[in-house]
Amino acid sequence: MSAVLKRLYYIGFHVPQGQQLANHLVQKFGFELFATREAEWKRQQAFRRGDAVFVVNEKREPTGRKFLPSDYSKHKGILYDVNLQYRVSTASNICFEVEDVPGISQNLLEKGCEILIPPTTEADENGFVTFSVVRSIVGNVSHTLLDRSQYCGPFLPGFCEVAPKKFQKERETTHFDHITYACPQGSSQAVLDWYRNCFSFQRFFIHQQDDAVEGYRIQGAEVGLRLTAMQYIDHGLSLFEHDCKFVLAESLPKQKRNQVDTFLQEHDGAGIQHVALYTTDIVGTAAAMAKSGVNFFKPPLSYYSEKSKEEEIEQVGQDLQLLKDYGILLDAKIGDKGQTSPGMFEKQYLMQIFTKPLFTEETFFIELIERCGATSFGEGNIRALWKSVQNYMDQQ
């Protein structure tokens, strides 16, 4: 029996004191700080934009002042995650809501998984939650399993609600579209097997040329990448509210050093390379973020001057100059296999853009993605994004 997951609830970071991630999420990325928790050694802050929730666990030095019990309950560290001591800033915890934390934890233990925190209950005046934390097979990634069915507070027990700002930004960013792991060469199948065995994940085919064993290989003079993807499936159906997918990226052998290799070295191993935020208006979202100081990768200018790309953009009714101004990629060569209606093609496309790394290290970044009928990923975008990131890495 595999764990029955209800939804992906939040993604957690661990950063040192003084790291600007929390400020940047609000000031640059338009997230809202809605809950916070102060402990003697840690500060935990929860941010949201639509249904996308980030929890930033920031290491702090003791101030010498006396903390009241309400400040940190019986904990001096963090809640709902392991007290991770890591050399670099990292996104490392993915929280799933579940219904039976003790039963799932016992089942995972019997499968040989390492339970980092056994089933634990936390409560306040709004009810109680039960959670456990299990180590995944991927680098420093862990999964919090959380049952909050008996809780009616704004976030979780131990956190204090933060009053929303009077003027809120538009909520065109709605949820997590996918999470990408950077993995060592040859490790993807083991990751797929672990998530299938423990959490009922199944393969999701990225492209019509995606091989069931080898995944989707993109190889050329400047690209050597293998991608495989998976999603949560229960009884043949994807039950996540927004169908978040997990993508595994590994470099191919005998290729020059690339951004996956750079991540593995600077992150000290496998981990979460990027998170994609789904937006209903990628142009407006990218424009607002760029104005607030977010730096985006831009593809080579030749990407927009290709005649076939100009025709693609024109066919779906997008503005070529606007996409070019912000570096937004568009791919309409997906979802057209087997189409019988001539009018269906132009309705299936996606647009994407990557930020530059959020930390000092060349590791974690954020992607914006807008889907217009497209459920997969476009090869042209993957190649262009890969090249733009690789050019940046080479310059660094």
Summarize the annotated binding site for Fe cation as residue ranges: 178, 274, 367
The tokens for 38 are: 């102060």
Beta strand 245-251 with 173-182 is parallel
Which alpha helices (H) appear in the chain, and where do they start and end? 21-27, 69-72, 101-110, 188-199, 259-266, 282-292, 302-305, 307-315, 320-326, 379-395
Q: What is the C-alpha end-to-end distance of the chain, expressed in Å? A: 47
How would you class 396 by CB atoms within 10 Å of its CB: exposed for 0-12, middle for 13-18, buried for 19 or more?
Answer: exposed
The tokens for 359 are: 């930390």
Rounded Cα distance between 368 and 155, Å, is 25
The CA distances from residue 93 to 63, 76, 199, 272, in Å, are 27, 19, 16, 9
Angle at 81 between CA 276 and CA 62, to 5 degrees: 110
- Are the C-beta atoms of residues 328 and 283 closer than 8 Å to each other? yes
